[in-house]
Amino acid sequence: MTAPLPLPPVSEPFRLPFHYGALHQIGLDWLVAPGPVRELLAKHHPDLTAAEFEDGRALVSLNYQLYFAQYAFGGGVTQEIEFNVVAFPTGAEGRLPRLSYAQYAQGWDQTKLLGIARVHVVCDNPFAIRAGRELYAEPKYPGRFEVDLPSLNGPAGETWNVRCKAATIGVDGTLDEDLGPLVDLTAELDGLAPAVANSAPITGYGTDLEGRLLAGPMNVSQPYRWYDLAAPAHAGRARLTVHAPESDLGRDALALVGDGEPATGAWTYQSPPVAAHNRPYYVPVAPRP
pLDDT tens for each residue of 66-125: 999 999 889 999 999 999 999 999 999 999 999 999 999 999 999 999 999 999 999 999
22-270: CATH number: 2.40.400
Q: Cβ contacts of residue 260 below 8 Å, gap of 6+? A: 239, 240, 241
Collapsing DSSP to helix, strand or coil, 250 comes out as helix
- Number of other CB atoms surrounding residue 5 within 10 Å: 7
pLDDT band at 132 (very low <50, low <70, confident <90, very high): very high
pLDDT at 206 over 90: yes
pLDDT for res 2? 73
Q: Cβ contacts of residue 109 below 8 Å, gap of 6+? A: 96, 97, 99, 103
pLDDT at 260 over 90: no
How far is Cα 189 from Cα 252, in angstroms, rounded to an integer?
26
Strand blocks (E) in 55-108: 58-71, 74-89
pLDDT for res 173? 86
In this prediction, residues 222-249 reach a mean pLDDT of: 95
pLDDT at 1 over 70: no
pLDDT band at 176 (very low <50, low <70, confident <90, very high): confident
Residue 92 has phi, psi (to 5 degrees) of -95, 15
pLDDT for res 288? 86
Domain definitions of the chain by residue range: 22-270
Q: What is the pLDDT of residues 267-278, one digit of tens each?
A: 999 999 999 999
Strands 202-207 and 115-123 turn out to be parallel
The one-letter amino acid at 143? G
More confident residue, 174 or 186: 186
pLDDT at 163 over 90: yes
More confident residue, 288 or 26: 26
pLDDT band at 172 (very low <50, low <70, confident <90, very high): confident
